[in-house]
Chains A and B, each alone.
Chain A
Amino acid sequence: MVSGLINANPVVYQKKERRARNAPCDSDEYAVEPIDQLEIFDHIRDIKDPEHPYSLEELKVITEDAVEVDDGLSYVRVTFTPTVEHCSMATIIGLCLRVKLMRSLPSRYKVDIRVAPGSHATEAAVNKQLNDKERVAAALENPNLLDMVDECLAPSYS
Chain B
Amino acid sequence: MADLCKLTQYVESFVDVSRTPSQQATSLETITSLVKNNVLTIETLVREMGMYLTITDNIIRGRGILLLGELLACLTSKPLDSATIHSLIAFFTERLADWKALRGALVGCLALMRRKTNVGTISQNDAKSVAQSYFQNLQVQSLGQHDRKLSFELLACLLEHYPDAVVSLGDDLVYGICEAIDGEKDPHCLLLTFRIVELVAKLFPDPSGTLASSSSDLFEFLGCYFPIHFTHGKEEDIDVRRNDLSQALMRAFSSTPLFEPFAIPLLLEKLSSSLPLAKIDSLKYLSDCTVKYGADRMKKHSEAIWSSVKEIIFTSIGQPNLSINTESLNSPSFQENEMTTEALRLLQKMVVESNGLFLTLIINDEDIKDIFNILNIYTCYNDYPLQSRQRLNAVGHILYTSASASVASCDHVFESYFHRLLEFLGISVDQYHNDKISPVISLNFGALYLCIEVIAACRDLIASTDENTCSVKEKSYSMLQTFSRSMVQLLSSTFPGIVKQDLHDAEFHCAVKGLLNLSTFPVGSSPVSRVIFEDILLEFMSFVTVNFKFGSLWNHALKALQHIGSFVDKYPGSVDSQSYMHIVVEKIASMFSPHDEVLPLILKLEMAVDIGRTGRSYMLKIVGGIEEPIFYNLSEVYAYGNSKSVEILLTLLDCYSTKILPWFDEAGDFEEVILRFALNIWDQIEKCSTFNTLMDKVLLDATMMALKLSVRSCSKESQNIIVQKAFNVLLTSSFSPSKVALSTTIPVQMEGLQILQQKDNPTSRDEWILSLFASVIIALRPQVHVPDVRLIIHLLMLSITRGCVPAAQALGSMINKLSVKSDKVEVSSYVSLEEAIDIIFKTEFRCFHNENTGNGSVMFLTELCSSIEKTSLLQVHAVVGLSWIGKGLLLCGHDKVRDVTMVFLQLLVSKSRTDGPPLQQFILEKDNETSLDFAVMKGAAEAFHILMSDSEACLNRKFHAIVRPLYKQRFFSTMMPIFQTLVSKSDTSLSRYMLYQAYAHVISDTPLTALLTDAKKFIPMLLDGLLTLSVNGINKDVVYSLLLVLSGILMDKNGQEAVTENAHKIVDCLAGLTDFSHMMLVRETAIQCLVAVSELPHARIYPMRRQVLHTISKALDDPKRAVRQEAVRCRQAWASIASRSLHF
Contacts and interface: CB of A to CB of B under 8 A. Distances in A.
A140 B1119 contact: no
B522 to A, nearest CB: 50
Interface string A32-58: 110100010011000000000000000
A30 B1140 contact: no
Contacts of B1131: 103-104
A29 interface: yes
Q: Is the interface of B mostly helix, strand, loop or mixed?
A: helix
Interface string A94-115: 0000010011111110000000
Interface string B1062-1101: 0000000000000001111000000000000000000000
A146 B1128 contact: no
Contacts of A108: 1117
A102 B1142 CA distance: 12
Nearest to B1033: A29
Given A107-B1116, A108-B1117, 17 more contacts: A21-B1121, A24-B1120, A29-B1079, A30-B1119, A33-B1119, A33-B1121, A35-B1121, A39-B1121, A42-B1125, A43-B1128, A103-B1128, A103-B1131, A103-B1135, A104-B1116, A104-B1131, A140-B1140, A157-B1132
Contact of A32 (B1116, B1119, B1125): B1119
A2 interface: no
Nearest to A36: B1121
B785 to A, nearest CB: 47
Nearest to A103: B1131
A106 B1077 contact: no
A32 B1113 CA distance: 18
29 contacts: A21-B1121, A24-B1120, A24-B1121, A29-B1078, A29-B1079, A29-B1080, A30-B1077, A30-B1119, A31-B1119, A32-B1119, A33-B1119, A33-B1121, A35-B1121, A39-B1124, A42-B1125, A43-B1128, A99-B1143, A103-B1132, A103-B1135, A103-B1143, A104-B1116, A104-B1131, A105-B1116, A106-B1113, A106-B1116, A107-B1117, A108-B1117, A140-B1143, A146-B1140
A24 B1140 CA distance: 36
A18 to B, nearest CB: 13
A39 B1051 CA distance: 28
Contact of B1129 (A35, A42, A107, A157): A157
A7 B607 CA distance: 64
Nearest to A39: B1121
Interface in A109-133: none
Among A29, A108, A146, the most chain B Cβ lie within 10 Å of the Cβ of A29
B1144 interface: yes
Interface residues of A, number: 22
A103 B1140 CA distance: 13
A154 B1121 CA distance: 21
B959 to A, nearest CB: 30
A100 to B, nearest CB: 9
A32 B1079 CA distance: 13
Contact of B1144 (A24, A102, A104): A102
B420 to A, nearest CB: 49
Interface string B1099-1133: 00000000000000100110111101100110110
Contacts of B1119: 30-33
Nearest to B1136: A150
Contacts of B1116: 104-107
Contacts of B1128: 43, 103-104, 157
Contacts of B1143: 99, 103, 140
A43 B1128 CA distance: 9
Nearest to B1113: A107
Contacts of A24: 1080, 1120-1122
Given A103-B1132, A104-B1128, A140-B1143, A33 B1113 contact: no
Contact of A35 (B1122, B1124, B1132): B1124
A146 B1117 CA distance: 26
A33 B1078 CA distance: 15
B1106 to A, nearest CB: 15
A21 B1120 CA distance: 13
A25 to B, nearest CB: 11
A106 B1132 contact: no
Nearest to B1077: A30
B1132 A33 contact: no
Nearest to B1123: A33
Contacts of B1144: 102
A106 B1078 contact: no
Nearest to A34: B1119
A23 B1122 CA distance: 11
List of 10 A-B pairs having minimum Cβ-Cβ separation, nearest first: A106-B1117, A32-B1119, A104-B1128, A106-B1116, A33-B1121, A157-B1132, A33-B1120, A107-B1113, A39-B1121, A103-B1131
Contacts of B1113: 106-107
Contacts of B1077: 30
A87 to B, nearest CB: 26
